[in-house]
Structure 1
Amino acid sequence: MIGWIKSKFNDIRFRNKLLLSHLVIALIPILLLGLLSFIQSYRIQMKELRSEAEASLEQVASIMDYKINRYNTLSEFMVLNRDLSQIFTKDYEENYYNMYLDFRDILEPLISNIRLMDDNIEAITFYTSGELLGIRNNILPIGDLKSKPWYDGFRGRRWIVDGEKLYLVQELISNPKDSNFMVISIQHDSIFADLDNLSEHVAVHIEDAKQQVIFQKNHDRAAVATGSKGGRAGDLSLSRSLANNGWTIHYNLLNTNAYANAMGIFQITLFVIILSLIITFLLIYVISNNFTQRIIHIKNKVDKVERNNLDVIIRSSSRDEFGELTNGIGKMLKRINSLISQVYHAEIAKKESEYNKLISQINPHFLYNTLSFIRWRAEKKADIETSYMVSALARFYRTTLNQGRHMATIEAEIQHIKAYLDLQLIMNDGRFDVDYHIHDEVLHTEVIHFILQPIVENAIKHGFVETDAINYRIHIAVSRVEERIKLTVRDNGVGMTPVQTALLLTGENGGCGVRNVNDRIKLYYGRDYGLVIHSEPGNGTEVSIVLPAS
């Protein structure tokens, strides 16, 4: 995939590459800046909303605590009223007139005064198991209270929310055999009215001491906004417990408002981003067009050169990289023209050399013919020694010239060295012997021509210097060693010291034949190849040549 994208990008025109790359480089920081702006504004909005929600929750909780405490105080005021307590604990012994007087003079004035003090109290009802049953419609049997779905046998004081009904249930002072409760019915909105004025972005619910929900606001809207009942990631959840009745208020602040405000800031940022991109695009287009026009100018010049118009002048007065590139191409073109001229003249010289070589080949042929005639005359006069020498000399020159080629087979190289040694044996009265050890499998392998004769010549000239010595011998071997060819020339002459061996390869001992062979091998086959000489004074010399079997 990456290779395909790279291939497609390489196929785009250079101007478009500049536009695309610069736009991407400019787009990344601008988009990051816009995203950072959105995130930062969103965080600030959420922080402000949280602060407002905490203040609102604190205010609502304080107001509700105050109202609940006020009703708790009224309830305690009635419970602690000694005259009222005596009504429910007194034994009237069916003296209904006294009961009537207590109701008229104590209970009803007290209830009337309480309701006058707070018009949010809808009713005050008493539930008793004593003798007061049936006397008034606001005094009911305890069984009616126990039949309520929200009654669970609690004692003391309890706030009850039953749908839209709100009750304060307070146990009265009773004698051991009676149970008496007072139930104050309170308008629902008197406690929860402040929660109805909350923002639409705040979902609130209240739980009682048993963690049962007794009030909720905006939860349907929250469920629609979040797609679930659990809220969305990023929403703020706050809670506050009321001190006077054990209720807990839970705030769930939706992040919709913060998100909307942040989006407004982001839209402004997006507009700035688009405007910046347009300006950036125009600037990049102008700059890249200036670059590409200069490149196209160079390309047009190079196209003319490609069409063999080498007289094109490529020059620039600019001092930047484009100017240096243009002038560099111009200099290169001049150099090419110069090299073409040199090659042209060299080709002419080569033709002349080949012609001179063709002319020079007349002399070897004349030499061969002359030597053949001399040999024929010697054989006619029965001069066998002269005929043999002339025949060996003819073979020597024929293999030496090698028809002008610098490569020869090992077989031809061996024939050449044999012709040379035949002449040397006659000239030295046969005072040394020669033996050959040549493997047939290497005869047709080609090597550099004329590499054995200088080594053999050096052995005869410098190794066999003692005139009274006998049993001089030269051993010539050629074999295949793995993927290489090994040629060896060994003699049993006087040998050499290490210093003389080193001078032999440098040509500083007066001769250059061996050194030339070593240099030619390294030049043709590489620095890893060359002559290896092992020699000791009085023990002869061995020269080895290892060549690749190509």
Structure 2
Amino acid sequence: MMPNSLKRIAVPFGYKVMFSYLIFVLVAVLGIGYFAYTASVDSIRRQTEARMQDTLGQMRDNVNYKTESVKRISDLIFFDQTMQKTLRVFRLGFRGYETTKEYLHPTFENVIKLASSKTRLKLYLNNPQIWEYYGDLSEDKDPLAGSNTFDVLHLSRLEGVPWYRELPWQTEKSVAKDVFKGTEAVWRQVGNDANFGNISLLRRLFDIDEEQLTGVAQTTVRLDDLLEAAQHEKIGDESRLYVYNSEGQALRASGGPSMTFNALKQTVEGRFLLIEQPVPGVEWRLVALVPNELLEQEAESVRTITIAVCLAALVLLVFIGWLFSRHYSKKVRGIVVSLNAMREGEFRRRIHYSGRDEFAQIAMAFNRMSEHIDELIREVYLADLQQKEAELESLQAQINPHFLYNTLSSISRLAKFGETDNVHDMVTGIAKFYRLTLNEGRSLIPVEKELEQVGAYLDIQRIKYRNKLEVWNDIHPEVRGHVTVKIILQPFVENILEHALFGSGGIRIKLVAYKEGDTIIFQVIDDGIGMDGRTIRRIFEPDAVNGGYGIRNVHKRIQLQYGVKYGVSIASRRGIGTAVTITIPASREAR
């Protein structure tokens, strides 16, 4: 079961509208923000990859340019058919010496001079009649460190050499076919190249006219010279850059440890963005590794900007929503305030909304309804007021004959005993009493008049009871200036004299009047015989036939005039006395 405190919680209309709007705005902003963030991060990744591809493309072009420049050196020999024919038909003797000195060696030297970096050319010729020419060929010496720029050797030196047997064109039957396919040249680290950081371009020399192999050219260069552009700093200090050959072996590792391509993929999976670029003309590929942390840093920046933009948009949309909610909730509050005023009895309030929307229609309907209800209530009020006045007049008419009967009986007894002066005083007192009672027909009189009226009544009773009656007044000044229903004190004094006075003893009466908050309290206190609770309850019973008529009369008249929260209460004890309390509102004019 829901607690009653929760059931009583009322959420204003403006809060409901604002809450619904906030949910919609929050979902929209979060959705748009998430889409913008993911799209931005994806864009950053694509841009980073494109930027890396461009950078790798520049490196690839640089490497390709340098490898092609080395290949162009061998082209000068490969496509020189005069050279190929000379190598094929070379003969010993003077002419052979002259050809070697004046043509072959100068041509080789000129070819090497065209190289942009340190280069050494080794020619393994298929003609054993050509004289060999070479420098230091020991395996423990760097071939590029010596003074020789070219060597001329017999092809027979390569018989049984492993790297020569493993070349891919050893299995081809036709050299012309290799030339046509462009596979007559391959890059390999052979001999002691790997020890000294060198690499060689191996190319078969071929006499196209005779379709005959004339030899093998080995052009050796520094690997660092070829891969000078392949530096990881160009793609980021924390990045890595590798150059792999066709077997997946690392020719160069910049920014990270050297490892095979397969090992690389297993090691960096999930930690790096891997980008590849093949190098045309050679079976190499550039592989760049970009740490995901760098992408995350850029993504963090995008995330911060996205959150800031989303928060700004959220604040702006909430402010706009607050303005609209305030505008419409103000209209709803106006309607609620008018309805509450109507519930409190204010039917003259009107709602004025411009426009033709639903609020304006509600305002028009409310105004028509309140106007109609006001007219009906006025009609009912007038009818009820007339009925109330008739009942008051009837009750007051019942009091006067009762009092007059008792007073005339007292005058008769005084006249019988010849007390002419007392008769005169009593007749004068009754005249004053009725003058105050009539009050020009008004049912409400000033409190001063009510106190004066009960005083006139006590003056009459003092003549009747002589020294048996003592009266004290405790009237506070703040009660003066207010109004009350007339003849509300006299019936209680009369009731005391009729029922509380016992035997030959006397009785004391105290009249009290004071203001307490927004009420005025009258008290009539006596030290008579008192009564029990059962008697008090019987007095206030509507259908009671024995006694209490005057008390019920006053109680009913007060409630008819002021409402059920006001009236008469009695406290009494046998042998001690009775205290009657009369409560009316502190009003300064007729209600």
Give the TM-score normalised by structure 2.
0.39
Give the TM-score normalised by structure 1.
0.42
